[in-house]
Amino acid sequence: MASQGIEIEEKYDVGDDATVPALEQLPGVARVGTPNTAVLEAVYFDTDKHTLASRRITLRRRTGGADAGWHLKLPLEAGAATEPQQRRELHAPLGQPGVVPDSLLAHVQAYLRGAEVKPVVRLHTRRTTHALYGGDGVHLADLADDQVEATRLGQGEAAEQSQSWREWELELVHGGPDLFAPAAELLIAAGARPAGHASKLARALGRDSGAAAQEQETPLALIAGKKAPAAAVVTIYLGEQLRRLLAEDAAVRLEEGEGIHNMRSSIRRLRSVLAAYRKLYRAMPVRRLRDELDWLGLVLGDPRDAEVALERLRGHLDELPPGEGTDAARALVERKAKDAFDAGYRRVQEALQSERYFRLLDNLEDFRDRPPVRADAVAPGRRLAAKAVDKSASRLRRSHKAARHARRGTDHENALHQVRKDAKRLRHVAESAALVTGKRAGKVAKAAHKQQKVLGDYHDAVMARNLLQDLESGPALPQSTADALAALGKRQADLMGEAEAKYRKTRKKSRDLLRRGVI
């Protein structure tokens, strides 16, 4: 597994004749260590279209210095333009020169979408590092004075194009960001100027940092309080969920805890908002996205259900009296759930490598960047968002009524599951509406979440009970094992009853809130 940390730095362009100033003048800096010089050789990897660089992602293999190895840098959520650049940095051992470690490659597959990476830039850097220490000996930051020679690698006009420059990087180690402002004054007075590029790779490829910063700030500019247009509300909410989905892609590929759960949550939010605001857009793009999100959600559902059932039943097995029957029941449950989980996860991994999945990501980004808004669908966001919440609340009331009249058994369980799904939809639509309608929509979202959570406990008990029923319907079991499984089944039935009773109380408390409009 790759090691990781957070890189927080500010970069400066500087001329060859500039002299590093007396860094002891900085507030909080008690001394500066003896300058240390190292020669760094790095090869950067990307696609022919520079897919990673366009997203401010860098992937390199570097030799020399204290951190030789493979490095992957991923931008964190954008802040204000004046804030220092922050990136998540992952490391892996050197390994083979041209083979990107799987532990790093997993983090960029959602952006590569099947494209291959290859060497695009080679950097030779002579780095002199000045370490800054506080009065208590704490290593606050490093100022790196870099003499850089960059060579673009490729074919045709891009082949072996070289350039050189000098730059300073001030990177925090254990110090705080309050160091950056006085450092900027001192370094600029010494002849430096804020860097015109986000990274060495960006400069080598001829990309400036201004375009990237502008691209990140544009979505936030769409929000104009209660006067925001309806399409802007959807764009902001959809963009945030897409960002989360892409971020969770690596966690799912690497089988990290909660990865599937978090990705499914983003998918549900996307589906809910697309459904609630579908009349704003041309029908076909929305229908295509909803269908493909349904497909991905179903693929992710099988391993997640098995995972939840196993975790649940493990706890209930611990409550049973110890003995051969309990031990045998535990072994059966573990094998059944793990087999289902493994089979489901294989299908997930296949799906995440498929052209269908990559096409879905392309289509989501295209929808975000070029919304297919209908020509006649110009409406104030506040009014339309409130209407979408009211419609979702009405939908929830109808599903509750259907569940109340459904025949006990499978029909009733399915009806309550529909109530849960409609509560999720209301929650997500209310979350989007809160961007423009204020606190009331937030209260509606919380009330819907409470219903969803209680019915989630009900659904989990149903899934666990179904797993147990599959085991009981199989080959004949010793009586002690059958008794243990029966006890587990009764426990699930009791929990289903408790969850349903709790749902009725929760719904009663929120009934008046969900009947009133959000504006």
pLDDT tens-place string over residues 24-61: 999 999 999 999 999 999 999 999 999 999 999 999 99
> Pick the residue with more confidence: 72 or 199?
72
Q: Which pLDDT does position 34 carry in this prediction? A: 96
Cβ 153 vs Cβ 119: under 8 Å: yes
Mean pLDDT (whole number) for 386-403: 93
Whether pLDDT at 376 is above 80: no
Question: Coil, strand or helix: which one is 160?
Answer: coil
Exposed, middle or buried, 446 (CB in 10 Å: 0-12/13-18/19+)? middle
Long-range CB contact pairs, 437-443, < 8 A, 24+? 437/226, 437/382, 437/385, 437/386, 437/389, 437/518, 437/519, 438/226, 438/518, 438/519, 440/518, 440/519, 441/385, 441/386, 441/389, 441/518, 443/513
How far are the Cα atoms of 335, 458, 468, 472, 488 from residue 324, in angstroms, in the given order? 17, 30, 18, 17, 15
Whether pLDDT at 379 is above 70: no
Mean pLDDT (whole number) for 134-138: 93
How far are the Cα atoms of 25, 28, 386, 502, 507 from residue 513, in angstroms, in the given order? 59, 53, 14, 18, 10
Structural domain boundaries in the chain? 3-213, 221-514
Domain covering 3-213 in this structure, CATH number: 2.40.320.10
Q: Which pLDDT does position 210 carry in this prediction? A: 38
pLDDT band at 81 (very low <50, low <70, confident <90, very high): very low
Cβ 508 vs Cβ 371: under 8 Å: no
pLDDT in tens, 323-348: 999 999 999 999 999 999 999 999 99
Mean pLDDT (whole number) for 482-501: 96
Which residues, 6 or more positions from 293, have their beta carbon under 8 angstroms from its beta carbon? 267, 270, 271, 274, 360
Q: Which pLDDT does position 439 carry in this prediction? A: 81
pLDDT in tens, 210-267: 344 334 444 444 444 556 677 888 888 999 999 999 999 999 999 998 899 999 999 9
Average pLDDT of the chain to the nearest whole number: 89
pLDDT exceeding 70 applies to what percent of the chain?
91
Cβ 455 vs Cβ 300: under 8 Å: no
Cβ 389 vs Cβ 431: under 8 Å: no
What is d(CA 270, CA 293) in angstroms, rounded to the nearest whole number?
8
Element (H, E) at 379: none
Residue spans of alpha helices (H) in 155-282: 180-189, 200-205, 209-221, 230-253, 259-276
pLDDT band at 445 (very low <50, low <70, confident <90, very high): very high
Question: In the structure encoding, which two tokens stand for residue 20, read together?
Answer: 């590093």
What is d(CA 157, CA 206) in angstroms, rounded to the nearest whole number?
14
pLDDT exceeding 90 applies to what percent of the chain?
76
What is d(CA 273, CA 204) in angstroms, rounded to the nearest whole number?
41
Residue spans of alpha helices (H) in 254-282: 259-276
Mean pLDDT (whole number) for 102-120: 95
pTM (predicted TM-score) = 0.86
Q: Within a 13 Å sphere around the CA of 500, how many CA atoms are in the beta-carbon half?
A: 18
Give the closest residue to 492 by CA, choosing from 317, 304, 340, 321. Answer: 317
Domain covering 221-514: architecture: Alpha solenoid (1.40)
**Residues counted in the chain:** 519
Give the closest residue to 145 by CA, choosing from 32, 68, 4, 27. Answer: 32
The DSSP line for 476-497 is: ---HHHHHHHHHHHHHHHHHHH
